[in-house]
Structures are given as structure tokens and as C-alpha cells.
């Protein structure tokens, strides 16, 4: 027969856990609203910048620009991978890890030819355990230092590409669509490739007194930072949404477990009372 005290202790423990998960859900919900606000304010700027880059790619002769140089042989590939700093956010990080490892395996390159640029402590811990080469690891909290992380990342990836340390660069992160819909996505960053979208009829004109290469490099460097910035903002919103959903599920599961334990407690107590009554009846019969 189950011990009544142990069942009651379990019920109390699960109730305390439910209070914690409920509070964490509320905190994540409040953080999600702030993250959505910042993300939605920045997205139009990032989209406009992307359209400008698309027009420039298709309209300016940039064959000699280092950002457009396609290597004859791809020996080393870089991946910017954005994860969270903390756990308890459901499958948020797991989905990113799966997406990244699947893409890396398809390239059929050794771990030494894969260069990772990690933003997020969870990602750094995961890929260190699997023996990958990490060229950049944000030592500060991504959420608190988004601007400095984006600055550091954009500088090191552009330097590594121009210096030939990597031949291609991709970014893998979670894209935010709604509080219940976040999906990992991989996007190619370097080298730039001409597209058929967003083509502007007129070319952009650079002032005669300006250095064309210097201006273009500044524009492209800023574009990389903007791309990382918007990915960090989306990742933050997705993390909070995933944590809110995970804590909601945990709260509901705790409620179900409490009901189950309460039913077991009542059955055990009823059994104990029945046995006591039987003992009394047997004792009374023995005295007759």
C-alpha cells in the first residue's frame, strides 16, 4: 500500500513546481512582448537594407569586389549559429542543433574544415562537446549585449572570408513567425550571388570624390551586421515564445499529475480506513 505521507509530500512538491512554472510562463510572456516590439521596429529597416543590397548586387559591376569572389574549390565553410544562453525553452535549441548538424553532414567535410561562429552559450556547449572548431564564441549574454555580439561577429566573419580562411559563409538561426511557430533556417551570406528579384532599373551612383571600394565595403559590412542583428532579435523572441509554451505545458502537466496523485492519496486513505474498520470489527468479534 502506498505511504500516505510520501504521496502527500509528492503532491506538495508538484504544487510548488507548478507555481514556479506558472510564474516562469508569465515572465516569458512579458519578455516576449518586449522582444516582439523591438523586433518589429527593426525588421522594416533590415528589409529595406536587404532590398538595397539586392538592387546593388544586380546593377553594379562588382566582379572585383572580394564579397563576390566565388572560390574554385570549397575547402572551408563558416557557419554563424545563433542559440539561446539558457535552457527550459522546449525544443528551441534542439531544432537548431539538428538543422546545423544535418547541413554540416551534407557538405562531407571534416570537422577541421567547418568553422563555427557561435552566439549563445547553449550552442557553444553543444558544439564543443562534438569537437567542432569554434572561431567565435560570445562570452557575454546575447540578450543583454546584442549590439556588441553583432559587431564582433560581423567583423570576424568578414575578415575570415576576405583573408581566405573560409570560402563560404552561412547563418543558421530560428526564424520567428508567431508565438507558436518558430523554425530554424539556413541562409547563405558569402559570397554574394546575383538574383532575379528586387532588380532596380537605375544603377546607384557613388560620388566621384569617394573611394568606390571603400564605400561598397562599408555598405556590405553594415549589411552583415544588420542581418545578424535581425537574426538575434528574432532568436530572442522565438526563445521567449518557446519558453512560454514549454512552461505552459509543464504547468498543465503538473496539474494532471496533482490530480493523479490526489486520486492515489484518496484511494490509499480509503484503504487505510477500511483496514482500520476491519481491525475493529475483528477485535469486537473476538471479544464475543
Residue appearing with cell numbers 558569402: 190
Question: Domain range holding 55?
Answer: 29-243
Distance CA 26, CA 22 (A): 6
Vertex 156, ends 240 and 39: CA angle to 5°? 25
259-276: string of b/e by CB count within 10 Å (b at 16+)? eebeeebeebeeeeeeee
The total of other beta-carbon atoms located within 10 Å of residue 176's CB is 26
User: 16 and 120, same structural domain?
Assistant: no
User: 114 and 33, same structural domain?
Assistant: yes
User: 282 and 221, same structural domain?
Assistant: no
Vertex 196, ends 56 and 206: CA angle to 5°? 10
Task: List the CATH number of the domain containing 258.
Answer: 1.10.287.80
User: 187 and 100, same structural domain?
Assistant: yes
User: 266 and 181, same structural domain?
Assistant: no
User: 278 and 157, same structural domain?
Assistant: no
Tell me the three cell numbers of residue 234: 528574432
Structural domain tally of the chain?
2
The total of other beta-carbon atoms located within 10 Å of residue 253's CB is 14
What pLDDT, on a 0 to 100 scale, did the predictor assign at position 38? 92
Task: List the CATH number of the domain containing 103.
Answer: 3.40.1380.10
| End residue of a domain, out of 243, 260, 279 | 243
Bridging pattern class, strands 168-178 and 181-190? antiparallel
User: 8 and 75, same structural domain?
Assistant: no
Cis-peptide into 191, omega within 30 deg: yes
What pLDDT, on a 0 to 100 scale, did the predictor assign at position 201? 46
User: 156 and 125, same structural domain?
Assistant: yes
Grouped pLDDT means (10 residues each) for the chain, 288 residues: 82 94 94 93 91 74 71 88 91 94 87 88 91 81 68 90 90 93 91 63 58 76 91 93 95 94 88 78 72
User: 235 and 190, same structural domain?
Assistant: yes
The total of other beta-carbon atoms located within 10 Å of residue 242's CB is 25
User: 228 and 268, same structural domain?
Assistant: no
Residue appearing with cell numbers 553583432: 150
User: 269 and 156, same structural domain?
Assistant: no
User: 94 and 44, same structural domain?
Assistant: yes
Amino acid at each position: 500500500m502506498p505511504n500516505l505521507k510520501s504521496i502527500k509530500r509528492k503532491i506538495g512538491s508538484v504544487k510548488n513546481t507548478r507555481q514556479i512554472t506558472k510564474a516562469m510562463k508569465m515572465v516569458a510572456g512579458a519578455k516576449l512582448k518586449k522582444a516582439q516590439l523591438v523586433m518589429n521596429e527593426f525588421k522594416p529597416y533590415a528589409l529595406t537594407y536587404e532590398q538595397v543590397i539586392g538592387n546593388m548586387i544586380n546593377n553594379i559591376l562588382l566582379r572585383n569586389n572580394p564579397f563576390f569572389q566565388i572560390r574554385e574549390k570549397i575547402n572551408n565553410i563558416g557557419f554563424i549559429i545563433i542559440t539561446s544562453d539558457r535552457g527550459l525553452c522546449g525544443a528551441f535549441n534542439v531544432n537548431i542543433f539538428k538543422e546545423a548538424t544535418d547541413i554540416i553532414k551534407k557538405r562531407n567535410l571534416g570537422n577541421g574544415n567547418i568553422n563555427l561562429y557561435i552566439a549563445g552559450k547553449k550552442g557553444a556547449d553543444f558544439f564543443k562537446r562534438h569537437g567542432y572548431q569554434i572561431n567565435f564564441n560570445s562570452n557575454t549574454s546575447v540578450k543583454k549585449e546584442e549590439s556588441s555580439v553583432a559587431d564582433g561577429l560581423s567583423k570576424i566573419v568578414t575578415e575570415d572570408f576576405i583573408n581566405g580562411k573560409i570560402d563560404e559563409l552561412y547563418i543558421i538561426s530560428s526564424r520567428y513567425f508567431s508565438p507558436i511557430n518558430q523554425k530554424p533556417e539556413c541562409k547563405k551570406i558569402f559570397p554574394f550571388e546575383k538574383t532575379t528579384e528586387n532588380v532596380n532599373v537605375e544603377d546607384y551612383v557613388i560620388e566621384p570624390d569617394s573611394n568606390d571600394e571603400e564605400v561598397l565595403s562599408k555598405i556590405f559590412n553594415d549589411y552583415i551586421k544588420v542581418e545578424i542583428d535581425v537574426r538575434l532579435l528574432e532568436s530572442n523572441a522565438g526563445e521567449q515564445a518557446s519558453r512560454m509554451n514549454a512552461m505552459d505545458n509543464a504547468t498543465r502537466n503538473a496539474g494532471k499529475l496533482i490530480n493523479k496523485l490526489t486520486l492515489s492519496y484518496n484511494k490509499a486513505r480509503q484503504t487505510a480506513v477500511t483496514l482500520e474498520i476491519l481491525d475493529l470489527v475483528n477485535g469486537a468479534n473476538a471479544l464475543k
